[in-house]
Amino acid sequence: MEFITGKHLERRTFIKGMGASLALPFLDAMVPAGRLGTAARANIETPRLVAIEMVHGAAGCNDWGATQNLWAPAQVGRNFDLTPSSLEPLDAWREYLTIVSNTDVRMAEAFEAPEIGGDHFRSSAVFLTQQHPKQTEGSDVYVGTSLDQIHAQRFGQDTPIPSMQLCIENINQSGGCAYGYTCVYTDSISWASPTEPLPVIRDPRVAFEQLFGAGGSAEERALRRRTSASILDWVTDRVARLQRELGPNDRERLDRYLQNVRELERRIQMVEAQNTSGEERELPAAPAGVPDSFEEHVKLMFDLQALAFASDTTRVFSFKMGRDSSARVFPESGTDKPFHPASHHGGREEAILDFAKINKYHISMLPYFFEKLASIQEGDTHLLDKTMIIYGSPMGDPNLHNHRRAPLFVAGGRQAGMQGNVHLKAPDGTPMANVMLSLLHGLGHDDMDSFGDSTGDFPLSMPVTSAPAQGL
């Protein structure tokens, strides 16, 4: 593909070198005759989507935790206080935050006696499908098409990668896990169809290569990696040619984008060098590209998503940030209790507060992503406005393995109609699927009249001038 066409650049423009293919960010030069063409406008106006699952509920979904507002704030409406809750790290971003509390994920519950006890091994498959999985340890899996894939199938087919699925924990998508369920249910939140779970990428190097290293032959890509040079070193001449054709604003924007790509690649190379140095690892079985640090791993994955959105390489991500049975310890959270044992707090107040610390630590990763998206300008606004970020869990109280009062919030997404700065409490018994259906409508799927076990739309905004209601 030529990287410059006529008097302006096409939105779908690549610079190519040996073993490298780099899509460009949105530039003023992509606006012909001072205004966007139909195709280019459609590209930058299609809402991006990130769906994040943090497994196994939250401390605030326990009966006592709810009275302490460890997840949802006490106030409904706009004048809410996040200080006591695990969402406190998001307070600076409250204008982009829509909290929806008190929804249920009943499709993750046991429907029949043989399913009792299998909540760990159903839940993740339910999160974005809101459908009940068929109990099987074989290949005859069946659940539903996930929300992210519904969006990708309609609005992601003209991007180089329709969607990407990322994870942090190790997964095992083969064989049975327990209680008669195949592991694919607990490891997959993205389903292209009711019978087709999508593969998940844990290694940042693998994701980077898919996004930026697809050019050339396999041999060329292998040679490039062996040199330890930057991917940008292979496209230097083409970048220089392109920059001569651009105005000052576009040159600055392109330079910033390329610097971000180079810095991301440098960090991945540093992780690989450390992990192949022979020093003892905290995660000895993890691939060389996977950092031992949870925070570093999550931030690399967020950087990959931001750059992929900037270059319109894909518009849809799902991101599985944990695994139900994980024994990982997060010392930065303020507790040294492993994740899964901490979640089984036994209803003890001190133990519930410990689990809340882990919830809060996980939430504290998100402002980094928000800042990245808000720093990337595209057209007349930034990518945080254009990206809907769904964060939640199909579990409620992890100690009881129930699926009531499950945690959920949405960030960003103003282009998709998200108002922000609001806490909405659903009436008792409201399916989370009702919220998912309304989110799909905001993403442009107005023709959908149901999703999962939805019973109707859930209103995701309130009048700006309304007085905040009190109480939970």
Final residue of a domain: which of 274, 289, 304? 289
**Residues 186 and 56 reside in one and the same domain:** yes
Does 222 score more than 90 pLDDT?
no
Residue 216 pLDDT: 54
Final residue of a domain: which of 250, 272, 289? 289
Q: H or E stretch including 177?
A: strand 176-178
Number of domains in the chain: 2
**Percent over 90 (pLDDT), the chain:** 75
Confidence band for 3, pLDDT divided at 50, 70 and 90: very low
In a domain, 140, yes or no: yes
In a domain, 405, yes or no: yes
More confident site: 321 or 170: 321
Does 439 score more than 90 pLDDT?
yes
Residue 471 pLDDT: 42
Residue 24 pLDDT: 86
Does 66 score more than 50 pLDDT?
yes
Any idea which of 218-227, 272-281, 379-388 has the lowest mean pLDDT? 218-227
Q: What is the mean pLDDT of residues 122-143?
A: 97
Residue 173 pLDDT: 54
**Residues 327 and 418 reside in one and the same domain:** yes
Residues 247 and 343: beta-carbon distance below 8 Å:
no
3-state secondary structure of 349: helix
pTM greater than 0.85 (yes/no): yes
- Round to whole Å and give the CA distance between 69 and 326: 25
Any idea which of 355-359, 422-426, 462-466 has the lowest mean pLDDT? 462-466
Does 294 score more than 90 pLDDT?
yes
**Residues 374 and 453 reside in one and the same domain:** yes
Residue 472 pLDDT: 37
**Residues 450 and 436 reside in one and the same domain:** yes
- Round to whole Å and give the CA distance between 401 and 383: 36
**Residues 55 and 112 reside in one and the same domain:** yes
**CATH code of the domain in which 55 resides:** 3.40.720
Final residue of a domain: which of 289, 308, 331? 289
What's the whole-number average pLDDT of the chain?
89
Q: What is the mean pLDDT of residues 106-110?
A: 98
Angle at which helices 366-374 and 294-310 cross, to 10°: 20
Domain, as residue range, for 37:
1-45+208-289
The single-letter DSSP state of residue 466 is P
Main-chain phi, psi angles of 134, to 5 degrees = -70, 130
**Residues 129 and 220 reside in one and the same domain:** no
More confident site: 217 or 419: 419
Does 310 score more than 90 pLDDT?
yes
260-275 pLDDT, tens digit each: 999 999 999 999 999 9
417-436 pLDDT, tens digit each: 999 999 999 999 999 999 99
Residue 14 pLDDT: 74
**Residues 345 and 262 reside in one and the same domain:** no
Residue 215 pLDDT: 54
Does 188 score more than 80 pLDDT?
yes
Q: Indicate the pairing of strand 408-412 with strand 97-101.
A: antiparallel
Residue 18 pLDDT: 59
**Residues 349 and 274 reside in one and the same domain:** no
In a domain, 191, yes or no: yes
More confident site: 146 or 324: 146
Residue 358 pLDDT: 98
16-52 pLDDT, tens digit each: 765 677 888 888 888 765 455 555 555 567 899 999 9
Residue 29 pLDDT: 85
Does 349 score more than 70 pLDDT?
yes
In a domain, 167, yes or no: yes
**Residues 238 and 156 reside in one and the same domain:** no
Does 200 score more than 80 pLDDT?
yes
Residues 132 and 141: beta-carbon distance below 8 Å:
no
User: What type of residue is 464?
Assistant: V
Residue 467 pLDDT: 44
In a domain, 465, yes or no: no
**Residues 226 and 120 reside in one and the same domain:** no
Residue 19 pLDDT: 61
Got the DSSP string for 296-313?
A: HHHHHHHHHHHHHHHTTS
**Residues 339 and 360 reside in one and the same domain:** yes
Q: What is the mean pLDDT of residues 372-387?
A: 95
Residues 204 and 271: beta-carbon distance below 8 Å:
yes
**Residues 155 and 270 reside in one and the same domain:** no
Residue 217 pLDDT: 57
In a domain, 298, yes or no: no
In a domain, 468, yes or no: no
Any idea which of 22-31, 93-102, 107-116 has the lowest mean pLDDT? 22-31
More confident site: 29 or 98: 98
Does 184 score more than 90 pLDDT?
yes
In a domain, 332, yes or no: yes
More confident site: 222 or 426: 426
Residue 32 pLDDT: 63
Taken as a whole, the chain contains a residue count of: 472
Residue 224 pLDDT: 57
User: CA neighbours within 13 Å on the CB side: how many for 208?
Assistant: 24
- Round to whole Å and give the CA distance between 394 and 133: 13
